[in-house]
Amino acid sequence: MQRRLKIGVLYSRVRVEEKWIFGAMEKRGIDYDRLDDRAISFDLEKPEPWKQYDAVLERSISYNSGLYALRLLNSFGVPTVNTAAVAEVCGDKLMTSAVLARDGVPQPHNVTAFTPEAALEAIEAFGYPVVLKPVVGSWGRLLAKVNDRDAAEAVLEHKSTLGSVQHSVFYIQEFIEKPGRDIRVIMIGDRVLTAMYRTSEHWITNTARGGSGELCPITPEIEDICLRASKAVGGGLLGVDLVEHPQKGLVVNEINHTMEFHTMQPVSGIDIAGEIVEYVVKVAKSSEK
């Protein structure tokens, strides 16, 4: 008799996406555990409790908690979705940009500096406006559109005063005059599942910041750039954010490894949670071979 698979779902809070994922697990009769990252701990001398899982799906809100959990699980030999290597790249905008540049995937022009003085010099070379981003962060938070030197000096001073490791890395990106929207694409393994326009009158179009969603047809160009971007970061379950650049065409703005899909699922009419669960099961089964 074939052993029944056991799946773990690592989460921080039960949002609508987690409710859908749990429901998809239960609908399929999958044996799974809910693993609240605020309550678990890892004993490096006792990895056995974790080895009961054929795969663990990571849905942590905290990048650090999720990344270190994935690193530990992978070191125990537990397959995870996504892997620690993918999470490390996707959770850090500079690392994402580096692998996209390495593989020749189109992206906005960006420059990195490590002191306010070097950052200001780079911004002046860019010309205004520019966008300053934290290397780690989501939901469009702590982004700053910088329109002139006075604003640049103020933002750089604020970031320096905050003093965290993340704020000591100055990630500077060209400001793109996009057509009031960007494109969020859901990747499941090597498959482009669905895409959505995120539209807003604000220059930040994240749905978490009030942007609205509308179905976007998957063109050969969208499919090509997303497949290349997915391969660059290591593949898995990904949310690829594209921007329509007025000169360069489609460029990859960011890649999310624990993407939300509360707007995308109803807009697309696709059971994204079910597709995610099917993919995790596939990873679990492949690890048994």
Is position 263 within any domain?
Answer: no
Task: Give the pLDDT confidence score for residue 14 in this predicted structure.
Answer: 97
62 plus 98 within the same structural domain: no
pLDDT surpassing 80 at residue 211:
no
Task: Give the pLDDT confidence score for residue 69 in this predicted structure.
Answer: 98
Is position 134 within any domain?
Answer: yes
Of residues 206 and 90, the one with the higher pLDDT is: 90
pLDDT surpassing 60 at residue 2:
no
Task: Give the pLDDT confidence score for residue 100 in this predicted structure.
Answer: 98
| The domain boundary residue, chosen from 153, 174, 195 | 174
Is position 262 within any domain?
Answer: no
Mean pLDDT of 250-259: 96
Strands laid side by side in the 191-199 sheet = 212-215, 191-199, 181-188, 237-245, 249-256
Task: Give the pLDDT confidence score for residue 144 in this predicted structure.
Answer: 86
Mean pLDDT of 163-187: 87
pLDDT surpassing 70 at residue 15:
yes
137 in Cβ contact with 209 (< 8 Å): no
Task: Give the pLDDT confidence score for residue 167 in this predicted structure.
Answer: 67
Report the length, in residues, of the chain.
Answer: 289
Task: Give the pLDDT confidence score for residue 164 in this predicted structure.
Answer: 66
Q: Are strands 80-81 and 55-59 parallel, antiparallel or unpaired?
A: parallel
25 plus 65 within the same structural domain: yes
By percentage, how much of the chain surpasses pLDDT 90?
81
Question: In the structure, what pLDDT confidence band is assigned to residue 223 with cuts at 50, 70 and 90?
Answer: very high
- Share the mean pLDDT of the chain: 92
Task: Give the pLDDT confidence score for residue 1 in this predicted structure.
Answer: 45
Task: Give the pLDDT confidence score for residue 213 in this predicted structure.
Answer: 85
Is position 247 within any domain?
Answer: yes
223 plus 279 within the same structural domain: no
Is position 1 within any domain?
Answer: no
Question: In the structure, what pLDDT confidence band is assigned to residue 157 with cuts at 50, 70 and 90?
Answer: confident
235 lies in which domain range?
90-105+177-257
185 plus 166 within the same structural domain: no
Tens digit of each residue's pLDDT (9 = 90 or more) over 99-125? 999 999 999 999 999 999 999 999 999
